[in-house]
Structures are given as C-alpha cells and as structure tokens.
Amino acid sequence: MSLLIGLSSGNIQENKTSSRDIKRSILGAGLGLCAFKPIAKGTHKLFLVPYKKLYNSKSMEKYKTEYNNVVDIVLKSSKLESTGLKIFDINENNLEEVSKAYFDNLPKGFKQRIKNNPRLQKSFNKNLQNVAKGNYAFYMNIANSICLNKDKRYLSVFHEMGHAYNNNISSLGKLLDKLRKQNRKVVKQITQIMTLGIILIDKRKKDDKPKNNLDKEFQKIRNNAGLIAFVAGMPVIAEEGLASINAARLTKPYISKGAYKMLNKYNFRAWLTYLGGYTANAVALASMRGIKDFIVDRKNKQ
Ligand SMILES: [Zn+2]
C-alpha cells in the first residue's frame, strides 16, 4: 500500500516537472529566437564596416581610370571573351533599356519561367534596380553574363570575371561552383531548419543522456548547430575566394602595383562579408542554443 502511494506521488511529481520543463523550454526558445536576428545582424556588421569604409574611400577612386582601361584587355587575355561572356553596364538612366537587353540574353527556359511567375519577375526587376543603383554586381552562370554599374562598381568587374573564370575555365572553379549551387540553398536551408527545429522543439536539458541512437544524433546537431551552419556555407566561401584569386591573377600583369594592392584589399574585404554572413549565422544559432540552455538549466537548479 505504502509502495503504491509512493509510486503514484512519484508520477504526479514527474508530470509536474515535465510540464514545467516544457514551459522553460518554450521560454528559453522564445528568448533565443528573439535574440537571433539582432545577434546575427550585429555580428555581420563587424565584417561589413571595413568593406563599406574602403568602398566609399578616395584612396580607391584614384585608380578608377586605370581599372576601367584594362577591363577589355583582361577579357581578351583571360580567354573569357571567347567564352561569350557579356558585360551589361546598367545605371538609373538606362535601366529600362539594359534590363530588356539583359532579359533577352537569358536562356529560353529561364525567360519563360520569369514570364510565367510574377514573384520571380518582381525579384528579377528588383535585382536589376539594385545593380543600377550600384548596391552590388553579379555574374549569372546560366547566361554567362555580368551585370553591374560600371561607374559605381568599377572594381567589382574583376571579381565577377573571376566567377566567370570559375564557371567556364578553371576545373577547381567548376567543381566549387557545382558544390555551391547544390549547397547554397539546399544544405544551408536544411541545416538551418534542422538546427532551428531541434533547438526550438527539443525539450531535453543540456546534460540529459541520449535515450537512443537517433537521440544521440539529434543531440550532436543541437550542440553543434552553429558549426554545422558554418560548414554548410564553406563551398560558397571557397568559390568566392577563388573568384577573387582569379581576379588578382588575371589582372596583375596590366595594372600598377598600387592598383593591384587595392584590388586585393577590396576583394579581401568583400570576401570577409561572405565569411561574416556565415559566421554571424553560426554565432546567432549558437547563442540561441546558449540562451535556451541557460534558461532551462538555471530554472532547473532553483
Ligand atoms: Zn562573388
């Protein structure tokens, strides 16, 4: 009799604990989730500041004519011209005309996809508007074309040519490009969804022993969420780095020492912004887990 009472009161105690655990877990996950964006943004900013500082500087602008003068030479000597690489110079005055030319140059299937999908159409136009403003430049593999504002983004052309070189000529570049395409969306999203899901849904405390193999794997992912998200971004970081290495190598024979140094400085800081993006993501994911564990473990000790 006394044993039965003991058992049933034990069950009640356990139910109480687990419902409290769920509440703590939700509170911890909620706070962690709230902190995710500010932490990611703040961390990324640390990497963006040096790039923006250089981008707006006079010390870079003094090489502008020199850079512009060698674009055609590098196109020829790198053999990128013979791959059919096209450069679209877009700005706010020629936006409509160049957008149309850019669209016409896209592969047939992709053009049709844009035509049939208003959302894709909107993001396509928005992208070109941003490029026209000089916010960024890009290279598109399937159209083998670079789109940039030559006046505002005069230095980006070489890095974008580096991407074209990866896509058309360099075998290591082609491999990284393939990995990048597969990894960029799929792996990054899966990792984030998985890690976010495990951090948010997982109700166990940090030091709980895993019950089975699946549990063990979940715990591994949960405890290394930041690192996994960072590793998922490696092909992108590597391909970006190689594009800049190509840019430096192809341009070096035709520009002065000062201009070459500046090109590398600019590309390195631009590369840091990619590294920073993935680092920020990793830091924010790890912090989110830390906040949740802190709340769950701290209240548990009370
Ligand atoms: Zn790039």
For residue 11, being part of any structural domain is answered with no
In a domain, 249, yes or no: yes
Residue 17 lies in a domain: no
Q: Is 281 exposed, middle or buried (0-12, 13-18, 19+ CB in 10 A)?
A: buried
The confidence score (pLDDT) of residue 2 equals 37
61 CA distance to ligand 1 centroid (A)? 21
Alpha carbon of 1 to ligand 1 centroid (Å): 74
End-to-end CA distance of the chain: 32
Instruction: Note the pLDDT of residue 87.
Output: 94
Q: 7 in a domain, yes or no?
A: no
Span from the CA of 168 to the centroid of ligand 1 (angstroms): 15
Show the tokens assigned to 11. Answer: 């069950």
Q: How far is the CA of 243 from the centre of ligand 1 (A)?
A: 7
Q: Is residue 112 part of a domain?
A: yes
**Class of residue 5 by CB neighbours under 10 A (exposed 0-12, middle 13-18, buried 19+):** exposed
| Whole-angstrom distance, CA of residue 115 vs CA of residue 121 | 7
Report the pLDDT value the prediction gives residue 259, as an integer from 0 to 100.
Answer: 94
Q: Which pTM does this prediction carry? A: 0.79
Distance CA 157, CA 167 (A): 15
Q: Please state the domain count of the chain.
A: 1
3-state secondary structure of 1: coil
Domain span at residue 281?
23-301
Distance 228 CA to ligand 1 centre (A): 22
In a domain, 6, yes or no: no
Residues 6+ apart with CB under 8 A from 115: 121
Query: What is residue 3's predicted lDDT score, i.e. its pLDDT?
Result: 37
Q: Please, what are the averages of pLDDT over each run of 10 residues along the chain (302 residues)? A: 38 55 77 84 88 83 92 94 94 94 91 91 93 92 93 92 90 79 67 72 69 77 79 85 94 95 93 88 84 73 54
In a domain, 163, yes or no: yes
Beta-carbon contacts of 45 under 8 Å, excluding residues fewer than 6 positions away, are none
Give residue-wise pLDDT tens across range 240-280.
999 999 999 999 999 999 999 999 999 999 999 888 888 88
User: Would you say residue 16 lies in a domain?
Assistant: no
* CB contact set of 223 (below 8 Å; sequence gap of 6+): 289
pLDDT at 32: 80
Q: Which residues contact 261 (CB under 8 A, 6 or more apart)?
A: none
Distance 128 CA to ligand 1 centre (A): 16
- Predicted confidence at residue 187, as pLDDT, reads 61
Give 159 Cα–ligand 1 centroid separation in angstroms.
6
Contact, 221 vs 228, CB < 8 A? Answer: yes
